[in-house]
Each structure stands twice: as structure tokens, then as C-alpha cells.
Amino acid sequence: MTHIPTASQTVGPFFRLGLTTNAQLGVVAPNGIRLQFRVTDGDGLPTPGDSMIEIWQADAHGHYPHPLESRNCGLDPAFCGFGRLQTDANGICVFETVKPGAVPQENGDLQAPHINVTIFARGLGKQLRTRVYFDGEATNADDPVLALVPADRRQTLLAKSVSGAANDWSIEIRLQGDGETVFFDV
């Protein structure tokens, strides 16, 4: 008898069963910005309904809605800081949120406004983690995490304004291949 090992690096054809269809989980903060994600594979083709994006972010003042947040922040009660959406047939999901403020580090330096992103997808044995920054943000040049990314790959982390609108942003998450998004080993 010959045994063929099962591929342990994939989650198999049942991944879609665990995805959420609750669109309300995409409303992190109403009446703010619209952030569209498009998840593509190595060929640049959309991952149709096979991916899920989670976001965790600070509010417009750079405060996270967390019990350990020690700064006097007066959080917006409509802001939850967390969202989770499944991609549609075109590999797209759209969050309603606020553009985050700069977040202070322990040493007092500021991180550029960013959103922490986790990607789950069929074919991934482990979720991927990255950040989304905003193109044209003046503080991007001083962000310590973005500075760790090779200059020629930083654009993979930048959401672009759609048609110059300040409240409409878009980013492509490329899972592999040419133009692959930078993922962090955390």
C-alpha cells in the first residue's frame, strides 16, 4: 500500500462555509470613508468569494477602541475599530470606516495613518497580515514600519484615492506573483 501525503498547507474546498455574509461587519464607522479591497491571485485574477478581509484600526485621532487604551480619547461610540467581510464574485469587499489618525509608538514617534489587515483565503494554511497606508499622506515618509519595506514594494501597501475623492479609497491585495502585496511575518 502506498500513502500519498495530504496537502497540509491548504484549507480545502470547505473554506467558503465559514465565511461571513453579514454586511454590517463592514461598517466600522458610518459616514466616513469608503475603502474597497480587491483580492487577486498570482495571475491577477479575482478570488471570487474565496477570501475574507479583517481590519483593525485606530479612530481619526489615532486611538484604538480597546480597554487598555490609556490616553484620554473620548472615542466615538459609533466607531468599533474592527471589520470583517467576505469578497464577492469579483474579489471585492468594501468597508465603511474613518481615515485613521497617526498612532503614537512607545517612544512617542508617530506611525503614519494605517489600517491593520488580515487576509484569509482558500489555499492559505495561515492567514496573511499586512497594512494599508494612504497614498499621498505626508507622514508615510517617516513611518517606521513602512521604512522597513523596500522602496520599490511600498506601493503595494498604498490605498489610492478613487477619482481624487477624499472619502473613496481602493487597494488591491495580490496574494502572490508580480506585484505581490508585502505581507508581514508576525
pLDDT > 70: percent of the chain: 82
pLDDT(102) > 90: yes
Rounded distance between C-alpha atoms, residue 136 and residue 161, angstroms: 9
Which domains occur in the chain, in start order? 12-174 (2.60.130.10)
pLDDT > 90: percent of the chain: 56
- How far, rounded to the nearest angstrom, does the alpha carbon of residue 6 sit from its chain's CA centroid? 31
Task: Supply the mean pLDDT for the chain.
Answer: 85
pLDDT(95) > 50: yes
- How far, rounded to the nearest angstrom, does the alpha carbon of residue 137 sit from its chain's CA centroid? 17
Q: How is residue 171 written as a grid cell?
A: 487597494
pLDDT(100) > 90: yes
Mean pLDDT for the stretch of residues 123-152: 94
Beta bridge partners of 111: 103
Mean pLDDT for the stretch of residues 141-145: 94
Q: What is the pLDDT of residue 71?
A: 55
Mean pLDDT for the stretch of residues 83-92: 92
